[in-house]
Amino acid sequence: MFDVEFDHILLDQHGPLAILTIDRQNQMNALNTEVLSEIAEALERVVEEASIEALIITGAGDKAFVAGADITQLVKLESAFQARDLSLSVQNIFQDLSQLPFPTVAVINGFALGGGLELALACDIRIASPKAKLGFPEVHLGLIPGYGGTQRLPRLIGAGRALDLLLTGRHVPADEALSMGLVNYVKDNPLEFAREYLQNMLTKGGPLSFGLIKEAVRRGMDSNFTDGLEIEADLFGLISTSMDAKEGAKAFLEKRKAVFRGE
């Protein structure tokens, strides 16, 4: 078990759940290089802690999840090469998040704009409060998203809806975000719901299943359908020989709750 406080984020553990809270409330929890570096370090610590089985990411306060990248740092970029390096480095952090071998949830308690929405899109599930606002306002700054938004968004909601958001830069309210599949749930207390949601998930599913389901979906989305089926078959074959799979089948036949060990 651990509780780690960085300069701009708090990482604490509640049983099998880790909660990462970004806390720059005076800047609407905007992402600067320091915050991004701390997120990267926090993800490493979460992976190293064997007792962690799921991760929640949220923002401190009730105004913003993350209201975007820190513009005061973006305006200091001096060359296309420097901007490209920043884009690639943040994309790598968000890729590490997306590839964690356990479920991840973004709890969107306010504005999730630009880089903040890109952070949320790197999570498996998004749970929003009714007052949440989501969008990509980069076009209003003469920019484009650089942390994965142009790639993750159309894969999630389709090219047409993605282009509507990306080209207009408009803020989407929570109910519309739900209807287009941008978020999975809208709840009055999204953090409490996320904790209950994950606890219920973890008590019923096997940890190996979570990781391989994520891998199958992720690799399949980057492949054609036929190759995706082969990826699924490979991973199905792999997990079918695990101790957890044998325990799951035995527990089903014996009409009892399975005890999974991640083996």
CATH code for position 186: 3.90.226.10
156 and 227 within one domain: no
**Distance set, CA 262 to CA 100, 208, 222, 252 (Å):** 15, 5, 27, 17
pLDDT grade for 2, boundaries at 50, 70 and 90: low
223 and 143 within one domain: no
Whether 108 is in a domain gets the answer: yes
- Residue-level pLDDT at 14: 92
Count: domains in the chain? 2
135 and 39 within one domain: yes
Query: pTM, whole model, 2 decimals?
Result: 0.95
Whether 262 is in a domain gets the answer: no
19 and 41 within one domain: yes
Whether 9 is in a domain gets the answer: yes
195 and 228 within one domain: no
For range 159-165, the mean pLDDT: 98
Average pLDDT across the chain, whole number: 94
- Residue-level pLDDT at 3: 64
Strand order in the sheet with 125-128: 3-5, 9-14, 17-22, 54-59, 104-108, 125-128, 185-186
Can you give the C-alpha Rg of the chain in angstroms?
A: 19
Whether 263 is in a domain gets the answer: no
236 and 143 within one domain: no
For range 107-125, the mean pLDDT: 98
Dig out the tokens for 247 from the structure: 């325990």
Domain that holds residue 230: 206-253
Contacts of residue 43, Cβ cutoff 8 Å, sequence gap at least 6: 93, 96, 97, 100
Domain boundary among 185, 202, 219: 202
Whether 111 is in a domain gets the answer: yes
Least confident window among 72-81, 94-103, 165-174: 72-81
pLDDT grade for 249, boundaries at 50, 70 and 90: confident
Show which residues are catalytic.
118, 138
Dig out the tokens for 226 from the structure: 């036929």
